[in-house]
Amino acid sequence: MKLDIQTLDAKKAGSIDLDDAVFGIKDVRSDILQRMVKYQLAKRRAGTHKTQSRGEVSVTHSKVYKQKGTGQARHGAKNAPIFRGGGHAHNRLPRDYTHDLTKKFRALALRHALSAKANAGEIIVVDSIALKEPKTAALQAQLGKLNLDKALIIAGAEVDANFARAARNIPNIDVLPNAGLNVYDILRRGKLVLTPDAVAAIHARFKKEERAAA
């Protein structure tokens, strides 16, 4: 697959070949993408939720009122779940939500996510992600020329400091280094913007995995 390389001013600056084994999967499986997104979101959960049981609340455990003669239901203590301030009947406890996916499956999910963007024509290759000055308005004007209002930008091995500062106040624009490329962020943004260095890093990443598997 061949794509044009553009500048931030939307001018053509050459072309680049994308590996069909990574960007050219035609039958993109949504179930693989769903499992990967669920895996990533589960890892983000702190799991620190906690509510108090009947034995943990700070209320008196003495009998509320006498057993008979009041005309009301019989109760033994105010820590019962039906009372305000009482404990939870099935209280929530801290837990770990993470689960495992194999390395091969995670790599496959990334291939499918990249291919989904390529099939939809939502990949743009930009020659350089760098600015002389960290000016948000100027960057927003440049992104407007490329029709980027909701995009994930993979800027290379390191993100240019001026570009990062200019982009951080623009809504729906995420800027990550090569190492930050992930399925969830690819799918949650409309377009995927890559540099030639980022494309080379993606190709090298999958070539390395193929050699390791062999």
Q: What is the mean pLDDT of the chain?
A: 92
25-46 per-position pLDDT tens digit: 999 999 999 999 999 999 999 9
Residue 62 has pLDDT above 90, yes or no: no
124-149 per-position pLDDT tens digit: 999 989 899 999 999 999 999 999 99
Residue 15 has pLDDT above 70, yes or no: yes
Average pLDDT over residues 73-81: 92
Assess if CATH 3.30.565.10 describes domain 2-46+98-213. Answer: no
The ranges assigned to domains in the chain are 2-46+98-213, 50-93
Judged by phi (left if over 0) then psi (alpha if -120 to 50, else beta), residue 142 lies in alpha
- Per-residue DSSP letter, 137: H
Grade residue 208 by pLDDT with cuts at 50, 70 and 90: confident
Q: By mean pLDDT, which of 29-38, 95-104, 201-210 is the weakest?
A: 201-210
Grade residue 122 by pLDDT with cuts at 50, 70 and 90: very high
Tokens found for residue 75: 């109760």
Please, which residues bridge with residue 16 across strands? Answer: 3
Within the chain, residue ranges assigned H as helices are 20-23, 30-44, 103-119, 136-145, 161-167, 183-188, 196-213
Residue 214 has pLDDT above 70, yes or no: no
CA pair distance 93, 170, nearest whole angstrom: 38
Which amino acid, residue 206? Answer: F
Grade residue 171 by pLDDT with cuts at 50, 70 and 90: very high
Strands (DSSP E) contained in 38-84 are: none
Residue 211 has pLDDT above 80, yes or no: no
- pTM metric for this prediction: 0.84
